[in-house]
Amino acid sequence: MSVAAVGDDATASIDVTTETIDQYAALTGDENPIHLDETYASETMFGGRIAHGMLGAGVVSAALAALPGDIVYLDQDCSFEAPVCPGDTVEARATVTESLGGDRLRVETVASVGDETVIEGTATILSLPHES
């Protein structure tokens, strides 16, 4: 039974489409027009629709879940550095950087679109042996 350890890393990605953004809005109830209304969004500083920040952060969660063991997400701090737009592919990487004692680990998290960082931060997780 393996668990995550310092030095482990994992990735996850998602192709963001207008449909993805619409589905996220329907699921969460976040109907901010900057995400859903192209006419409105085109008049903002972004020049068009952008994805919800937490949609991108969800890819970070998927990367954490890809680490060895059963992962329990305890906390996350994240900084939204750049917008994610329809047509972008968001790739997240989670790298275990520190043992906090016992089953607790600190993980550096970064989500990127190409070479541009869109979200960065750190998470605290529990990594438990996978029970079959």
Residue 1 belongs to a domain: no
Structure tokens at 26: 């329907």
Q: Is residue 116 part of a domain?
A: yes
Q: Flag whether 3 is in a domain.
A: no
pTM above 0.75, yes or no: yes
Q: Is residue 95 part of a domain?
A: yes
Q: What pLDDT, on a 0 to 100 scale, did the predictor assign at position 131?
A: 76
- What lies within 8 Å, CB to CB, of 23 at 6+ separation is none
Q: Would 85 be classed as within a structural domain?
A: yes
Q: What is the pLDDT of residues 67-98, one digit of tens each?
A: 999 999 999 999 999 999 999 999 999 999 99
Residue 84 lies in a domain: yes
Does the pLDDT value for residue 130 go beyond 90? no
Q: For the segment 30-48, what is each residue's pLDDT rounded down to a tens digit?
A: 999 999 999 999 999 999 9
For the purposes of burial, counting CB atoms within 10 Å of the CB of 81, is it exposed (0-12), middle (13-18) or buried (19 or more)?
A: middle
Contact 61, 90 (CB under 8 A): no
Residue 57: pLDDT above 80?
Answer: yes
- Which residues span the domain enclosing 53? 9-128
Give residue-wise pLDDT tens across range 98-119: 999 999 999 999 999 999 999 9
Asked if residue 77 belongs to a domain, the reply is yes
Helix spans in the chain (H): 18-28, 33-36, 38-42, 53-65
Q: Phi/psi zone of residue 19: left (φ > 0), alpha (ψ -120 to 50 degrees), beta?
A: alpha
Number of domains the chain is built from:
1
Tokens 């995400």 found at: 35
Q: Provide the pLDDT confidence category of residue 1 given band limits of 50, 70 and 90.
A: low
In a domain, 2, yes or no: no
